């Protein structure tokens, strides 16, 4: 059964030309899988205690992982320094997350049902007209969501440690524990933490973009985009407009490879932009974003300025021994939309599920092969989503004419329906082939027209 799953997985990835370096890949990996299954059965039973797993980082990924682990009978330690950290984050979650993670409705501040896409020549397109009455994009505050998920993990029996993870010692021998070093701040109000150590059998690194866990397993780096965001409190009459509406601005002035946004938050709006290629110019892009939204946010006061890196692709190594990375630490943020909360929580849960399964509910030791299953499953489930968004970004964010065409395309109801369905439910529903062909022709038409205009513009000297 597992080998079948693996086969289709490899088939999926072969769509890209293989380099000679890993052309020998299929054979060793099947060997690996066999080895894993045998070892999994014969892995030693733990006596006198349950499996101990440490989750580093208390964001959505860490919270979801800790909850699943604790539920599965694993002795769980969650280490997080800032329990009430108000993180710089867009805070959009898809509808399916509410159901899958059983989130209470009151943690959702706003329900966005309308999106406005605004092209470089200021053509504004409303998307979201196809949404059904119960469908929406939830906007949450991260401090609320994170706290809720952590508390739920705690209720299920996870030990929450207020501490700063420093480093870990990787064991030389098989099955001996990892030793984590952290400074504990439990029961203290300030000052320096108390140096503590903790022995665990496996580690889940959910500590974000600057992950220390990733550093200690030498996971390598990823390209990152820098996102810049200002929280602006705007007058009530202007805020009414953003009641259930989010805006996306595209254009070379706003960002050469991403988009600028205005997202409604609990009682203010977040205005921001991001880029990978021109990080030094981010302030300029931010000014341009503000300029493009000027009429709608006039009179606003900036209450907070924040910036953060967004991973562009997974780290070269997401797993080593009994240490696995999830969420932003692993680099699971989509291109094009820059979405990550759902994928973080989902990857945390998936990783924890594999640990619970591999350890027979905490009764046996786990090993690398058990954790590998999580990676396999993850890539198999979400690789197409990531790839599609990557293609979209490459095709439509590459130049102003492409962006004009993108906005024109988004005016189409069929496109809106498909986009929202895949965003809200994270499943790619096959569309109507006739509509697909129509869409393809229209899109190519838009692209050709916009590029033709572009050529004219280049001739002009205004």
Partner 1 sequence: MSTTISMASFSPLTPISTTHSSHSRPHPHNNLFTLTLTPKNLSFFTLSPLRVSAGTSDSPETAVEPPPQNISVGTNGSASAVTAAEEVKVSNGFLDPRWVAGTWDLMQFRKNGTTDWDAVIDAEARRRKWLETNPESSNNDSPVVFDTSIVPWWAWIKRFHLPEAELLNGRAAMIGFFMTYLVDSLTGVGLVDQMNNFFCKTLLFVAVGGVLLIRKNEDVDTFKKLLEETTFYDKQWQATWQDENSSNSNK
Q: Does 82 contact partner 1 by CB under 8 A?
A: yes
Q: Does 447 contact partner 1 by CB under 8 A?
A: no
Q: Does 92 contact partner 1 by CB under 8 A?
A: yes
Tell me, what DSSP letter sits at residue 37?
H
Q: What is the CA radius of gyration of the chain?
A: 24
Closest C-alpha to 360, from 369, 370, 368, 351: 370
| Contact residue for partner 1 among 50, 73, 87, 363 (CB under 8 A) | 87
Q: What distance lies between CA 415 and its chain's CA centroid?
A: 23
Backbone angle region of 461, left / alpha / beta, with phi > 0 → left and psi within -120 to 50 → alpha: beta
Cα gap 86→207, rounded to integer Å: 15
Q: Does 233 contact partner 1 by CB under 8 A?
A: yes
| Contact residue for partner 1 among 175, 394, 413, 436 (CB under 8 A) | 394
The structure tokens listed for 146 are 């994170």
Site for partner 1 in 124-163 (CB under 8 A): 124, 141-144
Q: Does 287 contact partner 1 by CB under 8 A?
A: yes
Q: Shortest Cβ distance from residue 148 to partner 1 (Å)?
A: 12
Q: What distance lies between CA 245 and its chain's CA centroid?
A: 22
| Contact residue for partner 1 among 179, 307, 392, 439 (CB under 8 A) | 307
CA distances from 333 to 311, 326, 328, 393, 395 (A): 6, 11, 7, 13, 18
The structure tokens listed for 398 are 């590459």
CB nearer to partner 1: pick between 272 and 362? 272
Position of tokens 């022709």? 441
Site for partner 1 in 166-185 (CB under 8 A): none
Q: Which stretch binds partner 1 (CB under 8 A): 64-72, 170-178, 248-256, 416-424?
A: 248-256
Q: Does 316 contact partner 1 by CB under 8 A?
A: yes
Q: Shortest Cβ distance from residue 361 to partner 1 (Å)?
A: 27
Cα gap 229→86, rounded to integer Å: 13
Contact 191, 244 (CB under 8 A): no
Q: Does 123 contact partner 1 by CB under 8 A?
A: yes
| Contact residue for partner 1 among 34, 45, 129, 301 (CB under 8 A) | 301
Cα gap 402→379, rounded to integer Å: 29
| Contact residue for partner 1 among 267, 384, 413, 432 (CB under 8 A) | 267
Q: Does 222 contact partner 1 by CB under 8 A?
A: yes
Position of tokens 């399964």? 357
| Contact residue for partner 1 among 72, 128, 314, 348 (CB under 8 A) | 314
Closest C-alpha to 335, from 410, 263, 386, 380: 386
Helix (H) or strand (E) holding 146: helix 142-155
Q: Shortest Cβ distance from residue 96 to partner 1 (Å)?
A: 15
Q: Does 21 contact partner 1 by CB under 8 A?
A: yes
Q: Which stretch binds partner 1 (CB under 8 A): 88-96, 98-106, 177-185, 430-438?
A: 88-96
φ and ψ of 301, to 5 deg: -115, 135
Interface size with partner 1, residues (CB under 8 A): 132
Q: Which stretch binds partner 1 (CB under 8 A): 37-45, 67-75, 177-185, 281-289?
A: 281-289
- To the nearest 10 degrees (0 to 180), the angle between helices 433-459 and 400-410 is 150
CB nearer to partner 1: pick between 73 and 241? 241
Q: Shortest Cβ distance from residue 26 to partner 1 (Å)?
A: 10
φ and ψ of 24, to 5 deg: -90, 10
CB nearer to partner 1: pick between 112 and 319? 319
CB nearer to partner 1: pick between 77 and 228? 228
* Coil vs helix vs strand at 301: strand
Q: Does 94 contact partner 1 by CB under 8 A?
A: no
Q: Shortest Cβ distance from residue 202 to partner 1 (Å)?
A: 17
């Amino acid at each position: 059964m597992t080998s079948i799953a693996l086969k289709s997985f490899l088939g999926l990835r072969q769509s890209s030309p293989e380099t000679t370096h890993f052309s020998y890949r299929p054979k060793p990996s099947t060997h690996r899988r066999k080895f894993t299954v045998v070892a999994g059965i014969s892995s030693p039973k733990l006596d006198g205690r349950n499996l101990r797993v440490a989750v580093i980082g208390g964001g959505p990924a860490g919270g979801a992982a800790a909850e699943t682990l604790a539920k599965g009978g694993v002795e769980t330690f969650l280490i997080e320094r800032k329990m009430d950290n108000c993180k710089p984050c867009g805070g959009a979650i898809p509808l399916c997350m509410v159901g899958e993670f059983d989130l209470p409705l009151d943690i959702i501040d706003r329900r966005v049902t309308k999106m406005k896409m605004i092209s470089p020549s200021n053509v504004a397109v409303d998307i979201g007209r196809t949404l059904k009455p119960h469908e929406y994009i939830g906007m949450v505050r991260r401090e609320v969501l994170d706290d809720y998920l952590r508390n739920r993990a705690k209720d299920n029996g996870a030990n929450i440690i207020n501490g700063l993870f420093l480093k870990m010692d990787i064991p030389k021998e098989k099955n001996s524990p990892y030793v984590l070093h952290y400074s504990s701040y439990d029961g203290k109000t300030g000052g320096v933490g108390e140096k503590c150590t903790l022995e665990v059998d496996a580690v889940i690194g959910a500590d974000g973009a600057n992950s220390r866990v990733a550093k200690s397993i030498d996971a390598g780096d990823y390209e990152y985009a820098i996102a810049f965001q200002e929280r602006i409190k705007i007058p009530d009459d202007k805020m009414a407009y953003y009641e259930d509406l989010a805006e996306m601005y595209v254009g070379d002035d706003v960002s050469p490879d991403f988009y600028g946004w205005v997202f409604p938050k609990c009682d203010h709006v977040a205005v921001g932009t991001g880029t990978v290629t021109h990080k030094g110019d981010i302030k300029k892009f931010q000014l341009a974003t503000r300029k493009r939204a000027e009429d709608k946010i006039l009179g606003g006061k900036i209450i907070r300025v924040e910036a953060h890196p967004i991973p562009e692709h997974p780290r070269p190594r997401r797993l080593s021994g009994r240490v696995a990375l999830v969420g932003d630490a692993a680099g699971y943020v989509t291109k094009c939309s820059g979405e990550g909360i759902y994928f973080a929580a989902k990857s945390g849960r998936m990783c924890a599920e594999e640990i619970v399964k591999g350890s027979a509910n905490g009764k046996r030791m786990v090993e690398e092969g058990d954790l590998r299953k999580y990676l396999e499953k993850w890539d198999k489930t979400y690789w197409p989503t990531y790839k599609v968004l990557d293609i979209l970004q490459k095709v439509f964010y590459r130049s102003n004419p492409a962006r004009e065409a993108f906005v024109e395309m988004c005016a189409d109801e069929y496109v809106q329906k498909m986009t929202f369905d895949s965003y809200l439910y994270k499943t790619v529903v096959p569309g109507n082939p006739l509509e697909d062909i129509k869409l393809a022709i229209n899109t190519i038409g838009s692209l050709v027209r916009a590029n033709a205009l572009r050529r004219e513009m280049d001739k002009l000297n205004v």
